[in-house]
Amino acid sequence: MTVEAREARQPWILLSPALTAVALLLLVPLAFIVVYSFWLRTSTGADQVGFFLDNWQEALSDRFYRDILLNTLKIAAITTIVCALMGYPAAYVVARSKGNKALLLLLLMLPFWISYIIRTMSWINILGVSGAINSALLALGLIGEPIQMLYNETTVILGLVHFLLPFMVLNVFVSLEGIDRTLEDAACSLGATRWESFIRVTLPLSLPGLAAGGLLCFVLGAGTYITPLVLGGPTDAMFANLVFEAIITQLDWPLGSALSLMLLGVLGALVAVYNHFLGMAQLMKGLG
């Protein structure tokens, strides 16, 4: 075999374990889901094999699903905006810090060492009826009885921000790190104040990172079912909760499959739009 042929083969040899895993654990199950979505759950509870459009018709035409989908997108959008507003300044501080950058980055990664579910549940100990805040206020005599702070849309967003903020910070950080600092000096020497040079130079150059962070926050936020389950009230279900409900509670796999594909389609379209304008390379940079 020639050297060129060996070199051409090498990437495939190295990639094959990962490709096998992706194929077996992602593509094949996804194919099952697609097939499932065209089956039908009969009143007896058994699945009828075939090609039925009933699930799709229900998923796409029922106002209930549409409203929850819109609400899910709304919550994801609010979460993304809050993450951007809170995450950008934090990323800026980390990127511009001189001595302790490694420590700050470590602190940023720290939440990932604790399970997302536990992090979400921790809010119950803080905001709950017998949580830290209520206990403190009761002990101080400022309130007569506990305030109901949990189980509403605000706490769902709070939990999502808590979960997703590091993704935003890391993405913005990576893009700020890639910007030459002398650009700001140059802008200032030409007459711009620090703020003007930030607005005209640094901010536009960091937009790809902000967009990548935003996409991650939005997609992960819109796909979550744990946060609304733990921190939301009965009316705060998000779209993934419907999938959970259909498959786990009602054992209606065909309908659950159709709903999950619907969410996948909406989020996939979003990623495609992002990719069209900004490319996936930026997203990959920030995931590292």
Whole-number Å distance between alpha carbons of 237 and 233? 8
Q: CB-wise, 212 or 237, nearer to other proteins?
A: 212
Give min distance, CB of 211 to other proteins, in A.
Answer: 14
Residue 31 tokens read as 């194919």
Q: CB-wise, 204 or 268, nearer to other proteins?
A: 204
Residue 10 tokens read as 């090498």
Whole-number Å distance between alpha carbons of 50 and 108? 50
Give min distance, CB of 175 to other proteins, in A.
Answer: 12
Give min distance, CB of 178 to other proteins, in A.
Answer: 10
Which of 30, 76, 37 minimizes the C-alpha distance to 55?
A: 37
The size of the interface with other proteins (CB under 8 A), counted in residues, is 17
Give min distance, CB of 177 to other proteins, in A.
Answer: 15
Residue whose pair of structure tokens reads 């549940």 in the numeric block: 121
Query: Residue 49, Cβ neighbours under 10 Å: how many?
Result: 11
281 binds other proteins (CB under 8 A): no
Give min distance, CB of 174 to other proteins, in A.
Answer: 17
Show the binding pattern over residues 180-209: x = contacts other proteins (CB under 8 A), - = does not: x-xx-xxxxxxxxx--x---xx--xx----
Q: CB-wise, 101 or 119, nearer to other proteins?
A: 101
Instruction: Specify the stretch interacting with other proteins by CB under 8 A; choose among 26-34, 66-74, 80-88, 177-185.
Output: 177-185
Give min distance, CB of 180 to other proteins, in A.
Answer: 6
Which of 219, 268, 226, 230 minimizes the C-alpha distance to 243?
A: 226
Whole-number Å distance between alpha carbons of 22 and 12? 14
8 Å CB contact between 212 and 283: yes
Residue ranges of alpha helices (H) inside 97-190 are: 101-109, 116-127, 132-139, 153-177, 182-189
Q: CB-wise, 10 or 193, nearer to other proteins?
A: 193
Q: CB-wise, 212 or 258, nearer to other proteins?
A: 212
Q: CB-wise, 105 or 205, nearer to other proteins?
A: 205
Whole-number Å distance between alpha carbons of 35 and 49? 9
List residues binding other proteins (CB under 8 A): 180, 182-183, 185-193, 196, 200-201, 204-205
